[in-house]
Structure 1
Amino acid sequence: MNVKDNVGFTNAPNNSQIFQKPESIRSRQLVQRSLSTLSDFSIEKDSSDRSTLLTVTLPHSPTSFGQFIAKVVDISPVLDPSERDINRTFLASPSDFRTIKIHGLHPGHHYSVSVIGRRKGESELIKEERVITDPIAPDFASRNASIVSSHTNITLRALKPEKALQVRISLNN
């Protein structure tokens, strides 16, 4: 362990670094999860709608956890906090306890998704990932949209989909 400015650096199996003060390392036991346990959990965009749905896949083999929870927090870099989505919690469906379906997300937003296992009244963070939902293009075929072209300019007007975050739209010919 290298010690610099009273902070210890420990390389975890996923190449991330855990920063803790040396005295706290002595005072409590550190438990590292095996990579095989973490690989049993996946957080992916749902193929049916990559802009608003995520699927958390849970282990197929039995675990010591009685329940799994997915906590979703909008961490989008926006100037106005009212543009952010609310924090939400999702549980596995009673009909399919191997997946957690996360729905109602906003296109183009950045989310932190935490998978939490519960057993005997205690919660344990199992996995956390950041996900950016796919953006959706404005509907240029709608009644309120217009495309005006002149000799040197093309102007496209359309309403932005509600709650969608998009920095840029690319047009290809």
Structure 2
Amino acid sequence: MATAKMMFKEVAEKEVVFDNSVIQDNHKVTLGILYNNNRNEKELVVYDTHNWSGDVTGAYPTIPFSNIGEYEVFIHQGLEGSKGGVVYVDGTDTTSRKWLVAFDTPNNKCHVEAGPIGATDWNAVEVLLNQADTDSHHTDPVFEGRAAARFRGDDGNKRRLEVLFVN
């Protein structure tokens, strides 16, 4: 299985197209790129979301399994800032796994988690996000799921957030 470093290199080299027509003037914008590479070859579906500032444009996408470099994208934006989070899962039974990414684009911070399915304490996530940096990595010691995210580039009020979910 590819390492996060190799997958980030692949993401960075891929030209990703966003629908810029939905971006509102003077908004802080997160341009999210989501990649799912897990050994059980399941798609990841949205389980929970939270917005501290701003909102996702449209909806967060389902992320199909891919080992060939296919990605899904989202746009999150807000006048006061783009700060939110999304949780993905690979099923609903007790052995299912979840992956979380939270982001604070004005402050260039992101936080990821991987672990067993369950409720998300968004207050605790915000505390960790506020302490975070421009990149984040997490490995679940039980299920061995991994999550990684990093901010790339700076285009005024827009930032590119690359997210990898691996198992």
Give the TM interval when normalised to the shorter protein: 0.3 to 0.5
TM-score, length-normalised on structure 1? 0.33
Q: Whose Rg is larger?
A: 1
Greater RCO structure (CA 8 Å; 6+ sep): 2
* Structure with the larger strand share: 2
* Structure with the larger helix share: 2
